[in-house]
Amino acid sequence: MDILTRLQQFIDSDRLTTQADQLAVASRDESTLDPVSPLAVVWPRDSAEISRIIIECRETQTPVTTRGAGSALEGSTIPSRQGLVLDLSRWTNIIEFFTDDLQITVEPGIIYDHLNNKLKDEGLFFPPAPGGSGDIATIGGMVSTNASGIYSVKYGGTREYVLQLEIVTGTGEIMKIGSRATKRSSGYNLVDLIAGSEGTLAIITAITLRLAGLPEGSRQSAFIFRDNVSAARAVSEMARYGLDLAAVEFLDSAVVSALNKLNDYGLDESPCLFLEFHGPEEALKANEELAGSICAELGGKPLILADGQRPWEIRHYATDAIKHLKSGYDIIRNDVAFPISKLPEMVGFCHDEADKASLIIHTFGHVGMGLLHALILARRSDKTEWQHGIELSDKIIKRTIELGGTISGEHGIGLGHKNLFELEHGRAVQLMRQIKKQFDPDNILNPGKIFDM
Amino acid sequence: MDILTRLQQFIDSDRLTTQADQLAVASRDESTLDPVSPLAVVWPRDSAEISRIIIECRETQTPVTTRGAGSALEGSTIPSRQGLVLDLSRWTNIIEFFTDDLQITVEPGIIYDHLNNKLKDEGLFFPPAPGGSGDIATIGGMVSTNASGIYSVKYGGTREYVLQLEIVTGTGEIMKIGSRATKRSSGYNLVDLIAGSEGTLAIITAITLRLAGLPEGSRQSAFIFRDNVSAARAVSEMARYGLDLAAVEFLDSAVVSALNKLNDYGLDESPCLFLEFHGPEEALKANEELAGSICAELGGKPLILADGQRPWEIRHYATDAIKHLKSGYDIIRNDVAFPISKLPEMVGFCHDEADKASLIIHTFGHVGMGLLHALILARRSDKTEWQHGIELSDKIIKRTIELGGTISGEHGIGLGHKNLFELEHGRAVQLMRQIKKQFDPDNILNPGKIFDM
């Protein structure tokens, strides 16, 4: 019996489709990678049903890709040809709210902003804000890619918040891993192994997160600098002073220029840092003053904004500004992360290499964590230019690895960067393959993502 | 050829011993578990030599236990009979200091306090302070047990600071895992798998840590409460307010009483909380005031100390005070961690069950993370009493697991608590066994710790 016939035995027809328009939706993510149409899309009812689906898939050697919002940026949710897509975007419930413990158990399909809206009433929040996509990104997707965001410099990435998971492995076994204790030294850390594994080890069906108290207050400021080196040094100095930064974002002058073109902000077109502080009023003042004097020592000047403009509103439009800068152009993206001292060198490298290749590049990111997004603009219609764009992106990643960094700070490897995965991890890749086999002996869970078996 | 003859081929005689006094030192840790004498102790020279030792051990099926200070509390460093001990306590060098990145690469034998003394000049520190044993605990040991301590509520546990490791696996393969990027979404998190694995997956030969900036200032305060419930609620409320606590320690009234007996402090014998704040002066003031008002609302009053006494000096002597309370008694220890709201219930449970069993118990811990140490006093000479002590400890752990907690918050499982490991982790233990096999196919690395194969 083929996989479709098998699934039809126990899945209602309104939760299983092979309609072309639905397959098209499930065939892509937010990247510019080529879509791949799956065989069918299933909206499973519960973990037990997922377990049964996995067992059927294993028997028929059918690949399974789990999908939430499909807002992945590196192809992690692009399915395999003739594979199945498990769509968990309808799994949006809060399973249990442990308000006194500052913890919550949720289904993986709940959206980041929806969750935080519900937490607000209790004075709580889940901090790893995924940049501009909080209104679509699901918590399941964030766990799968170990997402982070603007507040990760203070609060950490998604992995730091995941306490317990219910998972279904590649053998269909339903399992709870982790516990509700916030600190643990009890055996191997399977939770942090699943977090960031992009659906290749198990399907996540329930997530217990720890939460943070909403800060008593917050304050934002922004500084412009003569050059990238000075801006980068300021970030490093702030860290050295033990300054309690909630966020620090870097935009190079090209991004600022793109923002001016998008919305006529009238900003000085210099590299800048956007800062945010969280805490009680007195602490905010003190931290802001310390940050101000560190920036001033490195030649930083307060960014002058028009009345009513808040720096973070401007930052929010960075990707949009780049996307709309030139019509007919698409974005070739990377998401490198490196030791913070390498920021000036890396920003310089990105621009120098882009100039050499006659390509347009913009760099920005959550630099407090050493994360830099280098967005290259190229035309897909111009095969040579597109190829040069990809080569430039690879060159940036290779330089990052040489400097002790990593291919991906927060987006994952997916299909987009698996060509360079072995360059970063060397012989450890073989161990990763062996670990995958223990969770998924037949390689049916999101096969071909991160690395090939 | 037996293992000793093999090792003598390439290890100088001053780095390989079978002398009884040296074997005796290597046969125990700081727990009250029975010592086990190894076959020999080796002080290896470098990773390449460790690799060769491992290959010889594998061929002769000789177990290998790696040892630093031997300050483990659950038998993680107690060797196997006829096994080898690899003593890394002479590996105390700083390999590379990346001051601009707030990172350092060290050998595993470097001692916590020594490291922090060297970091001080650069305005940096490695925060997960291991309570009273910072003067002996090695960084390698801290990574192996994912240790934490008084500052973990603000700064996190050891795992959160480990960026990159050089390891030697159970096949003798030398491998680098992780990178120097502080945030990563690049494949499976092998670093966090090794951290906390108590020497059962690989031997750690180099460690790259991220560091924190020394706080501009710090301030301590302490409050006494009517009962454990109120003290515990205060901790939970402080977390909910997003209060930036550097440390919050709980001592029950029995511990306070023991401290009075040790040093005649003249303290009020009520449960108390010791708080510490880090930051700029204005922030300290603001945070201290907020904490004070939260404690006051729950009936907490400032703890009155004699002139010149600092609350944390008192806290430092907690374990000593318990140890010296009754001569002829030893400590049966546990190290449970649970969701913070369970603190009042767990403290009550510990004391009720100790009363029923006519045993003396003291509870204290880093409660900001939900960590509670319940120390039971019993005489090893009185076999029934000792057995009752162990049963009480197991009962406390079982209750913790029922409440969503974990056997160990920071000490590890070792030999001490592996009897209850499957109760906590269920079917995930089988996956852990399979993972161990990928790193250590012949089960020669610290066999029998955490779980049996």
In A156-210, alpha helices (H): 190-194
pLDDT reported for residue A359: 97
Tokens 């592996």 found at: B418
Short-list A236, A234, A359, CA closest to A302: A234
**pLDDT higher than 80, residue A43:** yes
Taking CA atoms, what residue in B is nearest to A342? B101
Which residues in chain A have their CB less than 8 angstroms from residue B189's CB? 146, 159, 189, 192-193, 195-196
- pLDDT tens for each residue of B20-79: 999 999 999 999 899 999 999 999 999 999 999 999 999 999 999 999 999 999 999 999
Angstroms from A315 CA to nearest CA on chain B? 21
pLDDT reported for residue A286: 85
CB pairs under 8 A between A and B: 312
d(CA A215, CA A115): 17
Cβ distance of A404 and B156 shorter than 8 Å: no
Task: Give the mean pLDDT of chain A.
Answer: 94
Strand residue runs (E) in B327-366: 330-337, 360-365
d(CA A276, CA A244): 9
Distances from the Cα of B43 to the Cαs of A166, B48, B107, B346, in angstroms? Answer: 43, 13, 14, 43
pLDDT reported for residue B439: 98
- pLDDT tens for each residue of B407-442: 999 999 999 999 999 999 999 999 999 999 999 999
Cβ distance of B244 and A187 shorter than 8 Å: no
Q: How confident is the model at residue A390 (pLDDT cuts 50, 70, 90)?
A: very high
d(CA B297, CA A55): 55
Which of the residues B105, B182, B425 would you substitute to probe the A interface, choosing the one with the greatest number of A C-beta atoms within 10 Å?
Answer: B182
In B61-189, alpha helices (H): 112-120, 139-145, 152-155
- pLDDT tens for each residue of B112-155: 999 999 999 998 999 988 877 889 999 999 999 999 988 999 99
Angstroms from B80 CA to nearest CA on chain A? 19
pLDDT reported for residue A280: 78
**pLDDT higher than 90, residue A110:** yes
Which residues in chain B have their CB less than 8 angstroms from residue A425's CB? 177, 186-187
- pLDDT tens for each residue of A308-355: 777 777 888 888 899 899 999 999 999 999 998 898 899 999 999 999
Backbone angles phi, psi at A391, to 5 degrees: -65, -40
Taking CA atoms, what residue in A is nearest to B149? A183
In B163-275, alpha helices (H): 190-194, 228-240, 253-263
Cβ distance of B187 and A244 shorter than 8 Å: no
Angstroms from A42 CA to nearest CA on chain B? 27
Q: Are A418 and A451 in contact (CB under 8 A)?
A: yes
Instruction: Work out the angle at residue A70's Cα, subtended by the Cα atoms of residues A64 and A73, and round it to the nearest 5 degrees.
Output: 105
Q: With 0.90 as the threshold, say if the pTM is over it.
A: yes
Which residues in chain A have their CB less than 8 angstroms from residue B290's CB? 216, 280
pLDDT reported for residue A53: 98
Angstroms from B265 CA to nearest CA on chain A? 32
The backbone region for B88, taken as left when phi is positive above 0, alpha when psi lies in -120 to 50, beta otherwise, is alpha
Of A186, A242, A408, the CB nearest to B186: A408
Q: What domains are defined for chain A? A: 3-87 (3.30.43.10), 94-213 (3.30.465.10), 217-308 (3.30.70.3450), 326-422 (3.30.70.2740)
- pLDDT tens for each residue of B94-119: 999 998 889 999 999 999 999 999 99
Which residues in chain A have their CB less than 8 angstroms from residue B193's CB? 188-189, 192-193
Find the mean pLDDT for residues A260-278: 91
Cβ distance of B192 and A190 shorter than 8 Å: no
Among the residue ranges A5-9, A119-123, A239-243, B47-51, the one predicted with the least confidence is A239-243
**pLDDT higher than 80, residue B171:** yes
HSE, side-chain direction, 13 A CA sphere, residue A441: 8
- pLDDT tens for each residue of B234-274: 987 887 777 889 999 999 999 999 999 998 888 889 999 99
